Amino acid sequence: MKPNSLIPLFLFGIISGFIPTLCSAQDQPSQPPASQVMRHGALGLANLATIENNKVIGGFKYDFLEALGKRLGISLTHQACPFQRCLRSMSDGQLDIMMFIAVTPERSRYLKYIQIWEIPVKMPFYVRKGEEDRLREYTDLHQLHVGVVNGYAYFSRFDNDSAIQKSKVMREEQLPKMLQAGRIDAFVAFGQEHQKLLATYPGLVPAPFSHAYSDTALIAIGHTSPFVALMPEMEQIALEMIQDGTMDKLWHKHFKHQMPYPSHLRKAN
């Protein structure tokens, strides 16, 4: 893969398929009252979620969910939180909704998903320039100190490999600084924009080794949230937003490349 094709945020690239995973009617809580506010949580990440005073005030996630809420006739709040705290808040009912969540068996115990997309794009690892040979295959990771974001699900083998020395941080933007300073040997560029990262840190390069992303849900709803009852309607609206061009319009406010939903979803049912 060429460096300029290493697109960030586990979303980018051509996505080959989806699996709608909705709860059954008997599992759904009663319909939430119209006055109830849906609580969204997000980690600050360039172009996806703009943070100010611990609130999400912009970015694609904000714009998409506001448009979704308008079509549903409900209001939202947008809370900024470290990723692991966001997940805990989804589990204990303090948040209702998140976007772009990698699907894992553990998370599936407390989350329900809308639109699970298969991601064929490779997840890049970064190293210091001149040290590319240190990370050519997976087993090389056992000799390195690797930076990760606390709570992220990268891919199962890596996530569960206790032989890899991992340094956990709260925010991904900390990782290139740590690599440049020599505090770690590599990091997983889960949500980094390649060109911007290289321009800011010219001493860093993508390693020869990369790996596929985990399957990712467009929307995740906490299993105790009253908004589980609206999941079929939410999925239908999401599909309509793809087919009527709204999804692309919102996406292109923040990104130049194509919104990576499966191409067959553009066709009306």
Q: Looking at the structure, tell me whether residues 234 and 160 fall in a common domain.
A: no
CA distances (Å), 162 to each of 83, 141, 165, 190, 215, in order? Answer: 21, 11, 7, 20, 22
CATH assignment at residue 31:
3.40.190.10
Q: Looking at the structure, tell me whether residues 47 and 84 fall in a common domain.
A: yes
- Predicted pLDDT at 144: 98
Q: Average pLDDT over the chain, rounded to whole?
A: 86
The domain containing residue 240 runs over which residues?
17-119+215-266
Residue 23, pLDDT above cutoff 80: no
- Predicted pLDDT at 2: 42
Does residue 37 form part of some domain?
yes
Q: Looking at the structure, tell me whether residues 109 and 234 fall in a common domain.
A: yes
Residue 269, pLDDT above cutoff 70: no
- Predicted pLDDT at 120: 62
- Predicted pLDDT at 34: 60
Q: Looking at the structure, tell me whether residues 28 and 105 fall in a common domain.
A: yes
Contact criterion met (CB below 8 Å) for 111 and 181:
no
- Predicted pLDDT at 21: 43
Query: Which tokens belong to 248?
Result: 């692309």
Q: Looking at the structure, tell me whether residues 115 and 219 fall in a common domain.
A: yes
Does residue 29 form part of some domain?
yes
Q: How many domains does the chain have?
A: 2
Coil, helix or strand at residue 102: strand
Residue linked to tokens 């119209």 = 34
Residue 193, pLDDT above cutoff 70: yes
Strands (E), the chain: 17-19, 38-42, 50-52, 55-58, 76-80, 97-102, 111-118, 122-128, 145-149, 165-169, 186-188, 204-212, 216-222
**CA–CA gap between residue 75 and residue 141 (Å, rounded):** 45
Residue 201, pLDDT above cutoff 60: yes
Give the pLDDT confidence of 122-143 residue by residue, as tens digits.
Answer: 889 999 999 999 999 999 999 9
Q: Looking at the structure, tell me whether residues 220 and 243 fall in a common domain.
A: yes
Pairing of strands 111-118, 17-19: antiparallel
DSSP 106-138: TGGGTEEEEEEEE--SEEEEEEETT-GGG-SSG
pTM over 0.75: yes
